[in-house]
Amino acid sequence: MCLSDTTESIEILNLMKIDFYLRFHTQFGQTLAIAGNLPSLGNDELNQAIPMNFFNNEFWHASIEIDPAGIDAFQYRYIFINEKGNRKKEAERDRQIDLKKLQGDIVAIDTWNDEGSIENAFLTAPFTEVFFREHKKVKHKKHESFTHQFKVKAPMLSPDEVVFIAGSAEHLNSWSTDNPILLHKKGSWWIANLEITPSEFALSYKYGIYNIKTGIASFEAGDNRILHNDGSIEKRTIVHDGFIRTPSSQWKGAGLAIPVFSLRSSNGFGVGEFADIKLLVDWSAEVGLKLVQLLPINDTTATYTWKDSYPYAAISAFALHPIYINLQKVAGKKNERIVKALAKKQKQLNQLAEIDYEQVIHFKINVLKELFGIDGMGFLKEEGFKEFFEDNQSWLVPYAAFCYLRDKYGTSDYSKWKNHSVYSEEEVEKLCSPRSKTFTHIAFHLYVQYHLHLQLKEASDYAHKKGIAFKGDIPIGIYRYGCDAWTAPGLYNMDKQAGAPPDDFTIKGQNWGFPTYNWKKMEEDHFEWWRQRFHQMSNYFDAFRIDHILGFFRIWSIPVDAVEGIMGRFIPALPVHVSEFGERGIWFDHDRFCKPYIVEEILIRVFGQQVDFVKTHFLQQQEQGRYQLKEDFNTQVNFVCLANCFFETVAYSNIIRTNHMHRAEQIRWF
């Protein structure tokens, strides 16, 4: 067999070497690692991050080789590992290297971005998209080939300000600010591509802020930044310098928090509406406020009664409340005559000293049904609705089906529905099919949610134009008889109730009635429900208030058969192990410590002469002179139900007795 027959084709790879240098001071036993969206960087998996090596007192180092073919760019971040092996990711999420125009090997010199750095707060949506979103574009020298790329973040610049760089090298203007080297903005970074010759190292430099309107240049605070490099033309050096060193305390802002229902205006129907938010924004801008926070605005329509006015018991964590809709905007010019004809009713509702929740919600739903009957299914063909539906159908379709079934069976308690009490995606799709007999009822709820979306989005955009940030409120719990619990009960501990422990204000604790979150189950799909929730809310809000944020880490959990918050316990919590009793010389009696302790002495002290009646009707005798509650009374829920029945019976008897007495009085006087 000749050699040519056995020779395999060999693919020659043009590998690129990338050296990472991180400025970081560590103590003995501490290490660092690097992770990124490349296979050689562990594909962003924390436990697959590649370890770094101690280089000197200033830097840690790691090196990889990659085939740049097919890779336009990649992102990476660093991980700190303490003496116990605990890992902590840095806050930086935007460190990226663009490979499209780079040739040769790369040196990346980076600065650790600590999660506790206050500057990171100024890179959040309210600042980047509202307060500091406008920057004038300035001309800068484009360098197709460069040896060094300098990148820095400066989130708090006014529209007339840009970042410049100057330093000891000739190509850094030798510290001159007469004709400053201006950086251009890309994403969250200000960038300068420069050619620096080997003879100019080591160099010192600083960033500064240049006002293109006044021509005034000012350097950042602190010591000079130092860069050591051999300046080899075969390498490209990319320097991520973190944040520009300017005072972060110079920005101050104030805002207000308000429920939408209180924004009553003459344009509404007895309650504040999304359209009224514009009036609040105008006032906020006039007095110099920076932020408007709204209390929860999700749909709470479970009973169509005043009980639904509690804003933290939403039947959907996604759907908006129909009570906040503006009827004039829904009607438009085409149907404005319908709303104008309601002027008398509008005036009557607006003149009420207090909001009549039941009257308003019933009135608005009826008008919306009338408008929907006129408009028909035309809205389904609108491009705006198609986009809205595509982005929200995961929750919108089940919600519309839930509302239809709630109205059909007269309750949101899905366990009492004759059909569909157990959620089935297949059955819901049949209900919501345009070919279904129920589709008209389903489409009505799509119609209402679409108009609510348009009105809230309009208010949000208006706030941004006025320089006002928008903040939403996310309740800690979900309603037990709502759409979220119906569609995915496994995501929640339905046998538990969230609440708060006893304190100086509520000596028996608080029971909110919401099921607690099943975090282990939620983790299986990487918390997709929460991701969807934040994504949907981000259509309108720049920031969120998460109600009772401590509940994400430790919740006061109450059994579902309890009424008072005092019956709960923290989950998770450090348990008291049975062995700890023995270690302290205490005999552990399970029934004594874990069940109601009822003995003769307590019964006599509490009930006195009624003790025999109590024993007969409510208790069962046990060993060692103890008693336990009968099954009908052994939980707070059972006891309350029986007590309610007792009081209803007594009240009914009193009514009958009163009627008999009244009749006897009539006979006597006759």
Distance CA 387, CA 389 (A): 5
Q: Residue 233: what pLDDT?
A: 59
Mean pLDDT of the chain: 89
Confidence of residue 103 (pLDDT cuts 50, 70, 90): confident
Residues 147 and 209 in one domain: yes
Count CB-CB contacts under 10 A for residue 55.
13
- φ/ψ of residue 418, rounded to 5: -70, -40
Verify that 330 and 469 share a domain, yes or no.
Answer: yes
CATH assignment of the domain containing 169? 2.60.40.10
- Residue 444 has a pLDDT of 97
Residue 421 belongs to some domain of the structure:
yes
Asked whether residue 504 is assigned to any structural domain, the reply reads no
**Within a domain: 568:** no
Total domain count, the chain: 3
Q: How confident is the model at residue 646 (pLDDT cuts 50, 70, 90)?
A: low
Question: Amino acid identity of 1?
Answer: M
635 confidence band (pLDDT: 50, 70, 90): confident
Q: Would residue 90 count as lying in a domain?
A: yes
% of the chain with per-residue pLDDT over 70:
91
287 and 153 within one domain? no
* Residues 434 and 308 reside in one and the same domain: yes
CA-based angle 240:544:526, to the nearest 5?
70
Based on the fold, state whether residues 360 and 440 are members of the same structural domain: yes
Percentages helix, strand, coil for the chain (3-state, rounded to 5) are: 40, 20, 40
Q: Looking at the structure, tell me whether residues 336 and 367 fall in a common domain.
A: yes
The predicted pLDDT at position 133 comes to 79
pLDDT value at 97 more than 80: yes
pLDDT at 445: 98
Q: Are 569 and 557 contacting, i.e. CB atoms less than 8 angstroms apart?
A: yes
Would you state the structure tokens that stand for residue 539, as one six-digit string? 């259509």
Q: Are strands 181-182 and 217-219 parallel, antiparallel or unpaired?
A: unpaired
Q: Which CATH number goes with the domain that contains 338? A: 3.20.20.80
pLDDT tens-place string over residues 295-348: 999 999 999 999 999 999 999 999 999 999 999 999 999 999 999 999 999 999
Domain assignment of residue 330, yes or no: yes
Q: Is the predicted pLDDT of residue 658 greater than 50, yes or no?
A: no
Predicted local confidence at residue 102, as pLDDT: 79
Confidence of residue 217 (pLDDT cuts 50, 70, 90): very high
Cross-sheet strand order for the sheet of 543-546: 255-258, 291-294, 469-474, 543-546
pLDDT of residue 648 exceeding 60: no
Domain boundary among 450, 474, 498: 474
Task: Reply yes or no on whether the pLDDT at 61 is more than 70.
Answer: yes
Q: The whole model's pTM is what?
A: 0.84
Examine the domain organization and report whether 334 and 410 are in the same domain: yes
| 568 vs 563: CA distance, rounded Å | 10
User: Is 157 in the same domain as 221?
Assistant: yes
Boundary-marking domain end, from 457, 474, 491: 474
Task: Identify the helix (H) or strand (E) that includes residue 62.
Answer: strand 59-66
Residue 292 forms part of a structural domain: yes
- Domain containing residue 109: 16-116
How much of the chain, in percent, has pLDDT values that exceed 90? Answer: 72
pLDDT digits (tens, 9 = 90+) for 425-460: 999 999 999 999 999 999 999 999 999 999 999 999
In this structure, which long-range contacts are made by residues 7-16, counting pairs with CB atoms below 8 Å and at least 24 apart in sequence? 13/67, 14/67, 14/68, 14/69, 15/65, 15/66, 15/67, 16/65, 16/66, 16/67, 16/68, 16/99, 16/104, 16/105, 16/106
Residue 64's pLDDT band (boundaries 50, 70, 90)? very high
What does the pLDDT read at residue 259? Answer: 96
Band (pLDDT 50/70/90 cuts) for residue 181 is: very high
Position 610 in a domain: no
Same domain, 159 and 235: yes
**Per-residue pLDDT reduced to its tens digit, 531-543:** 999 999 999 999 9
State which of 116, 143, 164 marks the end of a domain: 116
Q: Are residues 101 and 136 in the same domain?
A: no
Note whether 112 and 158 are same-domain residues.
no
9 found inside a domain:
no
Q: What is the mean pLDDT of residues 63-83?
A: 92
Three-class SS of residue 193?
Answer: strand
**Is pLDDT at 374 greater than 80 in this prediction?**
yes
Same domain, 266 and 188: no
pLDDT of residue 2: 46
Residue 138: the pLDDT is 66
